Structure 1
Amino acid sequence: MNNRRFNSRDRWGASLLLAAVLAMLDQFVKAGVAATLPLGSSVTLTPWFNLVHVLNPGAAFSFLADAGGWQRHALSGIGIVVSLALAVLLWRGVRSRLEAAAYVGLIGGALGNVIDRLRIGAVVDYLDLYWRDMHWPAFNLADVWVVGAAGLLVLASFKPGVAPEPRGQGGTS
């Protein structure tokens, strides 16, 4: 049995690489949607799921969508600052693999949507879930990463963890 504690700093580069892969996968799917579905179109796949091509200049649930343009830069800035803060926390050490995975998902999802905001001024959404005439707001893979990561953080909060190993204390392993 391996008694060594988890240390996210040991895997910091790999974690950031994985976050970048998640953001790029999101961008790849969005490019495919933009290339194959005209803006505003919809393709029914099941009685509860459509592929759509819509642009959301706001945040979740189109919050701030009609704010006049300033939200593009504000939301991009928030996404970048949060991603940097999470990268720093991973560097400093988090208490579990679950928490580290959540941070990676949050960074990947946030940056996937930041890229859209900086590149085209809005986020490309394409997943449309519905029941009868009730539609959930369209979303994308980056949103799935963020929501999934939030769920992992909730799970991690219930799991007893150990504090990261102190650095610079002169201890031996």
Structure 2
Amino acid sequence: MSENRPSYLILTLVSLASLIIDQVTKAYIDRVMDLHQSIPVIRDLFSITYVRNKGAAFGFLANTSFRIPFFIFVSIVAVLVILYAYRKLRKDQKLAQVSLAMILSGAVGNLIDRVRLGEVIDFLDVYWKTYHWPAFNVADSAICVGVFLLAIDMLREESRQKKALSAK
């Protein structure tokens, strides 16, 4: 293995930690709450609300007959692309390593639900009075945070490359 390869320890630890938190929270919600039950946490802002999502973001493709094979296929492709991209990172790209590990864990977390249940357990409900963001879960959060961190890393990488070129 090349000395400039990314750390697979980061990939393993971040992915496993996030995946465990995702699966434990979903199992807990499924065990202690009734479907559609809601527990207010911050009035007019945040509740724990147990819902199940048969589709993707915002219920996309929820009522199609091919949704489960489609989402499983897309998830597997995403996992393979993430692993390939991870392999291409340099050792010093720690933020990108963490971000791809988070995205990977989110994809796997929701894939587990789709294979096991045919749908995804969501429970984080953010809203303002009557305006609701669709409920989501830890896996969704890991994907979003991972994408945000990856965007930051890409901007930093672009800046590093510009500085390197101007130094020549």
Alignment TM-score > 0.5, same fold: yes
Q: Higher mean Cα deviation, 15-24 or 79-88?
A: 15-24
Query: Alpha-carbon deviation of 1:88?
Result: 2.3
One-letter identity of the residue aligned with 1:127: L
> Which of 61, 68, 89 is equivalent to 2:85?
89
Higher helix proportion (structure 1 or 2): 2
Compute the RMSD of aligned alpha carbons.
1.9
Name the structure 1 match of 2:21: 25
Change (3 A) 1:16 1:81: farther
CA displacement, residues 91-122 of structure 1 (integer Å, 9 cap, x when unaligned): 23346111111110110000000000000000
Distance in 1 of aligned mates of 2:151 and 2:120 = 26
| Corresponding position of 1:137 | 134
1:112: which partner in 2?
109
Tell me, in whole angstroms, the C-alpha distance in 2 between the residues paired with 1:6 and 1:158.
21
CA contact (8 A) 1:16 1:87 kept: no
1:137 & 1:77 partners in 2: Cα distance?
24
Residue 72 of structure 1 and its aligned partner are, at CA, apart by 1.4
- Unmatched tracts of structure 1, length 5 or more: 164-173
The number of residue pairs the alignment matches comes to: 156
TM-score under structure 1 length normalisation: 0.83
Helix, strand or coil at the partner of 1:114: helix
Change (3 A) 1:100 1:14: closer
Amino acid across the alignment from 1:106: I
Matches within 5 A, 1:1-173: 7-8=5-6, 11-47=7-43, 48-68=45-65, 70-94=66-90, 96-160=93-157
User: Percent identity, aligned pairs only?
Assistant: 29
CA contact (8 A) 2:113 2:119 kept: yes
Unaligned runs of 5+ in 2: 162-168
> What is the distance in 2 between the residues matched to 1:59 and 1:154?
22
Deviates more, 1:105-114 or 1:15-24: 15-24
